[in-house]
Amino acid sequence: MKKYLLTLSAVAIALTSCDLDINDNPNTPDNEAITADLVFPSVQNAIMATSCDIMFNYAGFFAQYFEQMPEANQFNKIADYSITESDQTIDRAYLQLYARALEDIDVVLGKVSNKADILAATAMRAFAFQLMVDNTSDAPYTEALKGSAVPQPKWDDGKTVYMGIIDELTKALADYQANPDAMTMTDLMFDKNAGQWEGYANALLLRMYFRMYDAGLTEYKDKIVALVNDNKFFKGDVTIDIFSDQTDNRSPFYASYYALGTSNHCASYPIISYMTSTNDPRIAYCFNKSVKDDDYVGQLPGAKALSKTWNGGDWKNSNVSVVNYSLFDGSGVERPA
């Protein structure tokens, strides 16, 4: 018994001296232990994974850029426009933007005072909300991201959301211009170039101004003209160039739709018709010629099932142009730009 008590005492002393809390998970540290520098890259990654994977897929079908391959079936419901609420087609995009990107942006904005960092985080916040509105028209905004205080936030109309994020971004831009700090957070897009973030913010504002104007709000015309005349936009391309053709390091769309060898996408008839009629040189970059006819052939949107009937039952993958998922054709030769 004496030996047993001594052992318990030794364990108690060890636990006390090490300040070990067995209820803390070292893989999920609390908010106080996380710096904005660590959070911001996850914001950029979540938005990229949404816009370049989930949204890009169904939006490509809806915009009639591509179609479901004749012998594939993964996206038949999207291709046939037979989507129901139970299919949850857009739910994953909503989850990525709100529960990951936008919540993390709130964490960042709660931890930084640097005007360049605030501008970058606000630009990402504006872009995330803009993506939601452009996809769903209405979106939670004024009551969003309040946790258990507002578990069911109302869905604001697109105009309300756009006007709100335009105001947020305009203020962040003006604050940065009045006090142009150097950016401190890890940045996958512009490598901490605050001037590029200023140009990116202006480009986001310009796009939203155009859409407000197209919606009939003619007062945005003067704002468009002023931004264009000022001409303070980012230089070059906006990219997150951190990927390689290796497992777990591929870009989201490439990894989901090409690397797995699912062969789901072929060209749609409208995009092929438009690009061939206008002699658009990008057609060779976007699509491969069909194996059967050695020509650019698109599938009629919403008519995958009927195509077999129209073609005497002989409508195969070889009949249509496959989407180019990569800059390279597999032989290491870069495709025409």
The SS3 of residue 180 is: coil
Are 67 and 80 a contacting pair, CB within 8 Å?
no
Q: What is the 3-state secondary structure (H, E, C) of 202-259?
A: HHHHHHHHHHHHHCCCHHHHHHHHHHHHHCCCCCCCCCCCCCCCCCCCCCHHHHHHCC
What is the chain's pLDDT, residue by residue, as a tens digit (337 residues)? 444 343 434 333 333 444 445 555 555 555 666 788 889 999 999 998 898 888 888 899 999 999 999 999 888 889 988 888 887 888 889 999 999 999 999 999 999 999 999 999 999 999 999 999 998 899 999 999 999 999 999 999 999 999 999 999 999 999 999 999 999 999 999 999 999 999 999 999 999 999 999 999 999 999 999 999 999 999 998 888 777 777 777 777 777 777 766 788 999 999 999 999 999 999 998 999 999 999 999 999 988 888 878 877 788 999 999 988 765 444 444 444 4
Q: Residue with structure tokens 């999207």?
A: 78
Cα distance between residue 57 and residue 66, in whole Å: 9
Cα distance between residue 292 and residue 280, in whole Å: 22
Are 117 and 108 a contacting pair, CB within 8 Å?
yes
Domains of the chain: 38-230 (1.25.40.390)
Amino acid at 155: W
Please give the structure tokens belonging to residue 245: 């053709």
CA-nearest of 277, 289, 292, 295 to 324 is: 289
